[in-house]
């Protein structure tokens, strides 16, 4: 026996031992997987997808179109068949010639297929091309359906695309060359690690599959996230009020209070120091307060929009006035908190309460006549399911909200991360934004249905008026000076609808800024990054398209432009204020307790 033979035997024994160890791990993980899946909550069909009525209507309309206009449909079918057959023949011809190379590839570029084997390997290239041809055929078939109203067509287009995205060959191990190559390179270790990641996610979420997007061990609130110095100076059953420590000798006399959405936690505006809007605002000389909402449990079942206004907004504003010894504050509302701020301002107008000097709205909808991309989830089939869910449990669990928003960007927030974690066994990245995205909150039953029915579906605030706090409030009664920032690619609060809502407000002093990027990145856009630009146009009487066409493009963040607007409405400079006063002792250091313990 030679030295090489001995080395081969050792290597072979090592590989066998490694394989046996991996098989033992797989067996153990499989048992844990089955146990975790058995704990999964039952999810009502209305929360799983659109009503079957949508597909029945689509099928009926398609058949009607086939009868009335067969030539068009046959033409599209023949085009699809022709491309598929031509591709198959070209691939077979190359193989018959002994050439292991793909045929001509005229399919569009798609970042899901960035790995080189999708272009160079004939097997994987064939699968990719056929998938993209099939996807285009499905999209064309949907567009061919004409006997549907615009809302039904939008929903059919969206949910058909969801099915197409789900069936991408990248989502399946046998047809994902990158995952297969890694499995071979690691002797299957990547697949075992992926199974461990899958089991860990299922166990962490009681059997519900929620892909971990960020390394949860990499962040801790108050240590490397939400680190701007400040203190909790007031607390009730709805919120903690945080006042931030000044960093300038003097500050503007009018304090600034920020109302973040209670669909998520407030520290999206205070992630790392480099991208913290709160830290930046403090550095500009503002006395900054923020509301940290309680994360409700079933005991908050009957908490309504009126409670958020009376026990949230109005009390918070009053406490800020007391702490700072002023008669007026400036207020910011982000997303649903901006919607509710507009309701509050209309109510204050009725009550002759002038406590808010000026208001800022971040990605806020007040006119829901066009609900944008998220509108596919706001029809009766889904909302009926949500109403049944919250009636039974008292809350809309954060699981449902997170899943809904993730499916609006499924390739980025579901399939892509799942491939990396479960097929390739990679650990999630230490990404602050994605960590925040996974730190969800619940919604009270009463409030959720009021919002979905009265505002989103019935658009009452922008039309007949919305009932809240024992009265009816109207959008025209939002009359304080205002600045609204919308985001160009926002998939949650469509910027055109945001603009339309601002147009309907009664304020004479209106500023509208359109930031590039989306719902989060367009807002959390510090000047230091010099990343996304923004558009302005002072003519608010124009149609939304005319406003955009005539708008001036500016490089860089909108933050300094907002500062220039806000500073003019914040009064003279006064000595800096430390958090709290004799009647508002420090209850806890920022970021407080509600954001951590709930």
To which H or E segment does residue 256 belong? strand 256-259
Q: Cα(first)–Cα(last) distance of the chain, in Å?
A: 67
Has 335 been annotated as catalytic? Answer: yes
Count CB atoms within 10 A of the CB of residue 60: 13
CA distance 231 to 591: 7
| Token pair belonging to 255 | 């304090």
One-character DSSP codes across 485-544: EEETT-SSS-HHHHHHHHHHS--SSEEEEEESS-TTTTTS--GGG----EEE-S-TTS-H
- 347 with 473: CB under 8 angstroms? yes
The full DSSP string for 176-189 is -HHHHHHHHHTTTH
Q: How far is CA 537 from CA 14, 358, 516, 549, in A?
A: 69, 20, 15, 10
Cα–Cα distance for residue pair 291/359, rounded to 1 Å = 15
d(CA 212, CA 434): 9
Residue 281: CB atoms within 10 Å: 23
Phi, psi of 167 (to 5 degrees): -90, 10
* Selected catalytic residue, list 324, 335, 469, 483: 335
Asked if 434 and 380 count as a contact pair (C-beta separation under 8 A), the reply is no
Structure tokens at 444: 């009270």
Question: If residue 330 lies in a helix (H) or strand (E), which one and from where to where?
Answer: strand 329-334
Rounded Cα gap, residues 420 and 114, in angstroms: 14
Burial group, residue 249, by CB count within 10 angstroms (0-12, 13-18, 19+)? exposed
Report the candidate in 353, 346, 355, 369 with the shortest Cα–Cα distance to residue 497.
Answer: 369
d(Cα 336, Cα 357) in Å, to the nearest integer?
21
Nearest partner of 135 among 102, 101, 112, 103, judged by Cα:
112
Q: Distance between CA atoms of 109 and 115, rounded to whole angstroms?
A: 12
Q: Output the CA–CA distances (angstroms, integers) from residue 259 to 63, 262, 268, 317, 329, in the order listed.
A: 51, 9, 12, 10, 13
> What's the rounded Cα separation, in Å, for the pair 344 and 373?
26
Distance CA 526, CA 283 (A): 13
138 by DSSP, 3-state: which? helix
- Which sequence positions are flagged as catalytic? 335
């Amino acid at each position: 026996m030679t030295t090489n033979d001995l080395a081969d035997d050792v290597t072979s024994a090592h590989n066998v031992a490694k394989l046996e160890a991996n098989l033992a791990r797989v067996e153990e993980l499989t048992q844990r997987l089955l146990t975790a899946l058995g704990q999964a909550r039952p999810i009502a069909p209305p929360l799983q997808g659109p009503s079957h009525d949508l597909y029945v209507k689509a099928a009926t309309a398609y058949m009607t179109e086939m009868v009335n206009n067969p030539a068009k449909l046959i033409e599209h079918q023949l085009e699809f068949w022709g491309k598929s057959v031509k591709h198959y023949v070209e691939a077979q011809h190359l193989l018959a010639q002994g050439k292991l190379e793909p045929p001509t590839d005229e399919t569009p570029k798609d970042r899901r297929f960035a790995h080189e084997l999708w272009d160079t390997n004939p097997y994987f290239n064939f699968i990719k091309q056929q998938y993209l041809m099939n996807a285009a055929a499905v999209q064309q078939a949907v567009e061919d359906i004409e006997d549907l109203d615009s809302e039904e067509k939008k929903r059919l287009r969206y949910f058909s695309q969801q099915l197409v995205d789900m069936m991408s060959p990248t989502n399946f191990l046998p047809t994902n060359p990158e995952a297969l190559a890694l499995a071979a390179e690691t002797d299957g270790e990547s697949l075992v690690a992926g199974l461990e990641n899958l089991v860990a996610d299922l166990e962490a979420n009681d059997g519900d599959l929620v892909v971990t997007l960020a390394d949860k061990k990499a962040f801790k609130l108050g240590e490397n996230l939400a680190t701007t110095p400040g203190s909790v100076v007031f607390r009730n059953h709805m919120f903690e009020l945080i006042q931030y420590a000044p960093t300038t000798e003097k500050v503007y006399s009018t304090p600034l209070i920020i109302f973040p959405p209670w669909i998520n936690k407030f520290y999206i505006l205070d992630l790392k120091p480099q991208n913290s809007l709160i830290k930046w605002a403090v550095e500009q000389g503002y006395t900054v307060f923020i509301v940290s909402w309680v994360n409700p449990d079933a005991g908050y079942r009957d908490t309504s929009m009126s409670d958020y206004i009376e026990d949230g907004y109005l009390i918070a504003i009053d406490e800020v006035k007391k702490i700072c010894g002023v008669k007026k504050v400036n207020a910011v509302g982000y997303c649903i908190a901006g919607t509710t701020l507009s309701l509050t301002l209309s109510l204050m107008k009725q009550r002759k309460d002038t406590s808010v000097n000026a208001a800022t709205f971040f990605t806020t909808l007040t006119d829901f006549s066009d609900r944008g991309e998220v509108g596919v989830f706001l029809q009766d089939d889904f909302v009926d399911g949500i109403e049944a869910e919250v009636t039974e449990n008292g809350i809309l669990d954060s699981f449902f909200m997170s899943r809904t928003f993730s499916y609006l960007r499924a390739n980025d927030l579901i399939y892509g991360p799942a491939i990396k974690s479960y097929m390739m066994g990679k650990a999630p990245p230490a990404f602050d934004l994605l960590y925040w995205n996974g730190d969800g909150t619940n919604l009270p039953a009463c409030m959720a249905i009021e919002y979905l029915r009265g505002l989103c579906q019935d658009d009452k605030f922008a039309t007949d008026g919305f009932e809240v706090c024992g009265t009816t409030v109207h959008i025209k009664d939002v009359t304080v000076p205002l600045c609204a920032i919308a985001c160009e690619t926002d998939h949650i609060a469509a910027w055109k609808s945001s603009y339309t809502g601002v147009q309907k407000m009664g304020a004479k002093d209106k500023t509208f800024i359109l930031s590039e990027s989306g719902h989060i990145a367009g807002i959390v856009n510090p000047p230091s990054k010099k990343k996304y630009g923004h558009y302005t146009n002072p003519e608010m009487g124009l149609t939304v398209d005319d406003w955009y066409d005539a708008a001036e493009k500016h490089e860089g963040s909108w933050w300094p432009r907002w500062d220039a607007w806000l500073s003019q409405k914040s009064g003279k400079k006064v000595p800096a204020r430390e958090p709290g006063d004799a009647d508002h002792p420090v209850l806890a250091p920022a970021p407080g307790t509600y954001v951590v313990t709930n």
